A and B are shown apart, each in its own frame.
Chain A
Amino acid sequence: MNDMPKFDLPKFDRRSFLVGAAAATGGFSLGFNYMPDALAADATPEVNAWVVVKPDDTVVIRIARSEMGQGSLTGLAQMVAEELECDWSKVTWEYPTPGTNVARKRVWGNYNSTGSQSIRQSQEYVRKGGAIAREMLIQAAANEWKVPAGECTAANSVITHKGSRRKTTFGKVASAAGKLDPPKDVKLKDPKDWKLIGKPVKRLDTVDKLTGKQVYGIDIKLPGMVIAAIHDCPVNGGKLTSFDADKVKSMRGVKSVVRVSDSSVAVVADTFWNAKTALAALPKTWDLGENAKVSSATIADMLKEGLSADQAFVGNKTGDAPAALQGAAKKYEAVYSFPYLHHATMEPMNTTALYTADKCEVWCPTQNGEGALAAVAEAAGLPVDKCDVYKVHLGGGFGRRARTDYVTQAVKIAKEMPGTPVKLIWTREEDMTHCAYHPVTQCKMTGGFDAAGNLTALHMRISGQSILASLLPQALQNGMDPAVFQGLTPSAPEGNFGYTIPNVLIDHAMRNTHILAGFWRGVNLNHNAVYVESFMDELAKEAGQDPLEFRRKMLKPKHRAVLDAAAAKANYGKAPKGVFQGVAQIMGFGSYVAAVADVTVSPEGQLKILRIVGATDCGYAVNPAQIERQIAGSFVYGLTAMLYGECTVKDGAIEQTNFDSYNMMRIDEMPKVECIIMPSGGFWGGVGEPTIAVAAPAVLNAIFAATGKRIRDLPLMNHSLKSV
């Protein structure tokens, strides 16, 4: 046992720190929360907004974006440290609060951790933050030595004056540096000179996740805290007509019963179990409203109508696809569908709120720190500068935690109990049934060939729900949701259609329901890739060509490059007997991705996914070890959805309530994942999401190769692959 590493005990227990600090000051007066090294009380002045260097040379890098497992916390720290020229082994981090960001004129920029944007959309100003801090540290040393700053260099947290060989450390000059004016402009390094960006350095936040010390939102503890369980109307749009609080007031541990909104009620108790037990016993009556007439079947009918509707928003129009299809030598058509999906973060929704008449503080796992702050201010009825949000690590986000519904609820409950901190925890059942789900869509694909068997026309008609219409109607453009065309537009750098076909029409008939549609990791790219890449396989079959070769002839160079790389690594075309392969490619979140899956299907219909090779061109790869993990995790996310993912609607409510009815892939179904990270430079693509989209089509195409069965409606569990 002696060779086992010791993990550092924090100087004091973080939970007790939290309790102490909150009790002493009513919160974090410094405006920073959860320090990895429990250093929050240390008031070392900053060099600039991004960097604090302590006298012992510890470098604290401030991270605005949320860490939910994707590793961007470490990646962003690498970016700052690259320019700062500090000793990476001395780097730690902290989250500046959204309230501090507002107070400091948004010095840390955007807090959103959605759309695989954390690194790529802040890379420039984050690197500049590091570079400016470095220049200030060098200037401070130069001032002390009375030499020109240009004669000094920084490396590994040490500043050296060339002529005199004098040396000092960042820690020694940091406080003087912080008093200097920052340089107006700094030059960023040429990517070829990067030493830390591009290296597979270890994450900064692993140890506490192995010992039970990592504090998630659900683990927050404050003195005198009570715990709430909530039940919102099972049908979105319905109302809570009445409840009988007296029936549960004397139950064990119950403190109060709170109407939270016109559709929800919470029980507050000493423990979660007591709150949940009393909530279940609380007599409630609902007015489910008109939406209770909606079911999966009525939604499917509505979507089906949209497949042939005259009116549709156009997202990609090249040539004249309808005319070309009319005149085609051969036409081929197929209709697909994709179900509602729930994010199912491992950690259910939760928020802890402490409200007093002149202040409201919230501890919560959020992908949207500033949105959470706005929600707190609104629910508390207080100005933003009287509110703050202390972010904690998320037990998964996947887009779910970009919404702030659970934050609003917690504040409303806390407002009923001024001075008492309230932790609201959703049961898994509440979580599963109150979400903004991956939108439901159907799609009609039509392809036309000329006499020589070339694909000359493609019409893709998507019918289905719009996320923006559900969550951000103000972002619609003349009623159109441009996001539905993710990966399908003619030339968007975020994700353009990879195939060059003379006549293309891609349009969307928007059909919305009362079930909210939301941003589910990968978003619209997921179904768009299933539709396009399954259909390309169908067209290849119609044309009598190999699916890879058929695609290659039409693919733009970067799209083709990732597919070629994946095919080469997978030994495409040379699979052992009984093993069948399928391919897929797509572009999304600024990155090009491809996959090749190897599967077997037994005569009894048992599918085994043996291996998936994933290739990614994300422009620049900040931390290849973390990208590999994002690719493997994306395959799990995409394959879980393909195998089992389906939320169905009955009487207006979502039917799946927990992991027994909403199944998840386990380790026994995990294929071997092989990654090819092939950054071609010159652009910044995301890595947390795009690969999800190619998981399902690659496997579905391999299943077709194995069985001749074309699965056009997900999930797979609704189909039999049996051949005997």
Chain B
Amino acid sequence: MASLNVNGKPYQADVDPRTPLLWVLRDSLGLTGTKYGCGIAQCGACTVHIDGVATRSCSVPVNMVSGKKITTIEGLAVNNVMTKVQKAWLDNEVPQCGYCQSGMIMAVSALLKDRPKPTDADIDAALTNICRCGTYQQIRQAIHAAAKA
């Protein structure tokens, strides 16, 4: 039995303790906004915040996160009010298929906490998530827009 705190709520999941957090979120807790892309920490589709740090949940066993605060894409907007990053994504129409965007938004939200006004070089260094639709240009615009908002 694993205990987790996700988006401010406590959960229990009856899983093998080595199960990656990603699959506990998706299959046990029903939080499917966090996506599976590679399972080996390469693509970033599964990015969540663990105690505020952007982390690839496919590569974190669930027993490593007990007592930690996990935030997923579903927990970003409070009372259905979008965050600055989500709003910038909406205004700049970033998503194409959208599948990578949960992870992108989570990674960028963490980046902006550390660096509220990131340079292009900061963005290049911090954002290593993959988008196969190729929304990178819109992502860069949206990050700068969110930083200004």
> Contact between B87 and A344 (Cβ–Cβ < 8 Å)?
no
Q: How far is the CA of A252 from the CA of B105 in the complex (A)?
A: 34
The answer to whether the Cβ of A34 comes within 8 Å of any Cβ in the partner chain is no
> Contact between A666 and B42 (Cβ–Cβ < 8 Å)?
no
Q: How far is the CA of A558 from the CA of B69 in the complex (A)?
A: 58
Chain A 357-394 interface mask (CB, 8 Å, partner B; 1/0): 00000000000000000000000000000000000011
**A645-687: which have CB < 8 Å to B?**
658-660, 664, 666-668, 670, 672-673
Contacts of B138 in A (CB 8 A): 629, 632
The answer to whether the Cβ of A346 comes within 8 Å of any Cβ in the partner chain is yes
**With A215-B32, A633-B133 as given contacts, are A69 and B98 in contact (CB-CB < 8 Å)?**
yes
> Contact between A209 and B101 (Cβ–Cβ < 8 Å)?
yes
> Contact between B136 and A667 (Cβ–Cβ < 8 Å)?
yes
CB distance from B33 to the nearest CB of A (A): 2
Contacts of B31 in A (CB 8 A): 212
Contacts of A15 in B (CB 8 A): 30
| B30, B32, B78, B140 pick with most chain A CB within 10 angstroms | B32
The answer to whether the Cβ of B86 comes within 8 Å of any Cβ in the partner chain is yes
Stretch at the interface among A200-208, A413-421, A456-464, A479-487: A200-208
**With A6-B80, A209-B101, A396-B99 as given contacts, are A667 and B89 in contact (CB-CB < 8 Å)?**
no
Q: How far is the CA of A207 from the CA of B130 in the complex (A)?
A: 20
The answer to whether the Cβ of A323 comes within 8 Å of any Cβ in the partner chain is no
Chain A 1-23 interface mask (CB, 8 Å, partner B; 1/0): 11011110100000100000000
Contacts of B64 in A (CB 8 A): none
CB distance from B13 to the nearest CB of A (A): 10
Q: How far is the CA of A640 from the CA of B136 in the complex (A)?
A: 12
> Contact between A210 and B89 (Cβ–Cβ < 8 Å)?
yes
Stretch at the interface among A216-224, A255-263, A292-300: A216-224
The answer to whether the Cβ of B115 comes within 8 Å of any Cβ in the partner chain is no
Q: How far is the CA of A87 from the CA of B44 in the complex (A)?
A: 39
**Nearest chain-B residue to A660 (Cβ)?**
B42
Contacts of B99 in A (CB 8 A): 216, 345-347, 395-396
Q: How far is the CA of A668 from the CA of B23 in the complex (A)?
A: 29
The answer to whether the Cβ of A68 comes within 8 Å of any Cβ in the partner chain is yes
The answer to whether the Cβ of B68 comes within 8 Å of any Cβ in the partner chain is no
**Nearest chain-A residue to B124 (Cβ)?**
A668
Contacts of A219 in B (CB 8 A): 26, 32
The answer to whether the Cβ of A145 comes within 8 Å of any Cβ in the partner chain is no
**B95-110: which have CB < 8 Å to A?**
95-102, 105
**A180-232: which have CB < 8 Å to B?**
202-203, 205-216, 218-219, 221, 227
CB distance from A118 to the nearest CB of B (A): 14
**A308-334: which have CB < 8 Å to B?**
none
The answer to whether the Cβ of A619 comes within 8 Å of any Cβ in the partner chain is no
Q: How far is the CA of A214 from the CA of B100 in the complex (A)?
A: 12
> Contact between B19 and A273 (Cβ–Cβ < 8 Å)?
yes
> Contact between A211 and B97 (Cβ–Cβ < 8 Å)?
no
The answer to whether the Cβ of B51 comes within 8 Å of any Cβ in the partner chain is no
Q: How far is the CA of A6 from the CA of B90 in the complex (A)?
A: 12
**Nearest chain-B residue to A15 (Cβ)?**
B30
> Contact between A211 and B93 (Cβ–Cβ < 8 Å)?
no
Contacts of A629 in B (CB 8 A): 93, 96, 135, 138
The answer to whether the Cβ of B3 comes within 8 Å of any Cβ in the partner chain is no
**Nearest chain-B residue to A432 (Cβ)?**
B38
CB distance from A106 to the nearest CB of B (A): 27
Contacts of A637 in B (CB 8 A): 132, 134
Interface residues on B, range: 35 or more
The answer to whether the Cβ of B73 comes within 8 Å of any Cβ in the partner chain is yes
Contacts of B130 in A (CB 8 A): 346, 659, 664, 666
> Contact between B83 and A227 (Cβ–Cβ < 8 Å)?
no
> Contact between A272 and B23 (Cβ–Cβ < 8 Å)?
yes
Q: How far is the CA of A338 from the CA of B86 in the complex (A)?
A: 40
**Nearest chain-B residue to A625 (Cβ)?**
B93
Chain B 105-149 interface mask (CB, 8 Å, partner A; 1/0): 100000000000000000111011111111111111000000000
> Contact between B80 and A9 (Cβ–Cβ < 8 Å)?
yes
Contacts of A635 in B (CB 8 A): 134
Chain A at the B interface: mostly helix, strand, loop or mixed?
loop
The answer to whether the Cβ of A433 comes within 8 Å of any Cβ in the partner chain is no
Contact of B97 among A68, A274, A425 (CB under 8 A): A68
Q: How far is the CA of A637 from the CA of B133 in the complex (A)?
A: 7
Contacts of A227 in B (CB 8 A): 27
CB distance from B132 to the nearest CB of A (A): 5
The answer to whether the Cβ of A522 comes within 8 Å of any Cβ in the partner chain is no
**Nearest chain-B residue to A632 (Cβ)?**
B137
> Contact between A344 and B32 (Cβ–Cβ < 8 Å)?
no
Contacts of A345 in B (CB 8 A): 97, 99, 132
> Contact between B16 and A633 (Cβ–Cβ < 8 Å)?
no
Contacts of B124 in A (CB 8 A): 667-668
**B64-82: which have CB < 8 Å to A?**
72-74, 76-78, 80-82
| B16, B77, B134, B136 pick with most chain A CB within 10 angstroms | B134
The answer to whether the Cβ of A348 comes within 8 Å of any Cβ in the partner chain is yes
Chain A 611-653 interface mask (CB, 8 Å, partner B; 1/0): 0000000000000010001001111110010000000000000
> Contact between A210 and B90 (Cβ–Cβ < 8 Å)?
yes
| A9, A629, A660 pick with most chain B CB within 10 angstroms | A629
Contact of A207 among B39, B90, B134 (CB under 8 A): B90
Q: How far is the CA of A1 from the CA of B32 in the complex (A)?
A: 26
Contact of B132 among A207, A218, A396, A632 (CB under 8 A): A396
The answer to whether the Cβ of B45 comes within 8 Å of any Cβ in the partner chain is yes
> Contact between A658 and B96 (Cβ–Cβ < 8 Å)?
no
**With A634-B134, A660-B42 as given contacts, are A212 and B32 in contact (CB-CB < 8 Å)?**
yes
CB distance from A190 to the nearest CB of B (A): 29
> Contact between A633 and B80 (Cβ–Cβ < 8 Å)?
no
**Nearest chain-B residue to A346 (Cβ)?**
B99
| B33, B42, B72, B97 pick with most chain A CB within 10 angstroms | B97
> Contact between B35 and A659 (Cβ–Cβ < 8 Å)?
no
> Contact between B98 and A209 (Cβ–Cβ < 8 Å)?
yes
> Contact between A211 and B77 (Cβ–Cβ < 8 Å)?
yes
Contacts of B39 in A (CB 8 A): 427-428, 658
Chain A 515-559 interface mask (CB, 8 Å, partner B; 1/0): 000000000000000000000000000000000000000000000
Contacts of A636 in B (CB 8 A): 131, 133-134, 136
**A63-77: which have CB < 8 Å to B?**
68-71
> Contact between A393 and B98 (Cβ–Cβ < 8 Å)?
yes
The answer to whether the Cβ of A398 comes within 8 Å of any Cβ in the partner chain is yes
| A4, A15, A70 pick with most chain B CB within 10 angstroms | A4
> Contact between A211 and B86 (Cβ–Cβ < 8 Å)?
yes
**Nearest chain-B residue to A664 (Cβ)?**
B130
CB distance from A365 to the nearest CB of B (A): 9
CB distance from A205 to the nearest CB of B (A): 8
Contact of B40 among A273, A634, A658, A667 (CB under 8 A): A658
**Nearest chain-B residue to A394 (Cβ)?**
B97
Question: Beyond the given A667-B139, A667-B140, could you list 4 further A-B residue pairs with CB under 8 A, ordered by the A residue number?
Answer: A208-B98, A346-B37, A397-B97, A629-B96
Residues in A lying within 8 Å of B, measured CB to CB: 1-2, 4-7, 9, 15, 68-71, 202-203, 205-216, 218-219, 221, 227, 252, 270-274, 277, 344-348, 393-398, 425, 427-428, 625, 629, 632-637, 640, 658-660, 664, 666-668, 670, 672-673
Top 5 closest A-B pairs, CB basis?
A212-B33, A636-B134, A209-B98, A395-B99, A69-B97
For this complex, 19 residue pairs linking A to B, each with C-beta atoms less than 8 Å apart, are A6-B80, A6-B81, A203-B93, A210-B82, A211-B73, A212-B31, A213-B74, A218-B32, A221-B32, A270-B27, A272-B36, A273-B16, A273-B27, A346-B43, A346-B132, A428-B39, A629-B93, A632-B138, A635-B134
Residues in B lying within 8 Å of A, measured CB to CB: 15-16, 19-20, 23, 26-28, 30-40, 42-43, 45, 72-74, 76-78, 80-84, 86-87, 89-90, 93, 95-102, 105, 123-125, 127-140
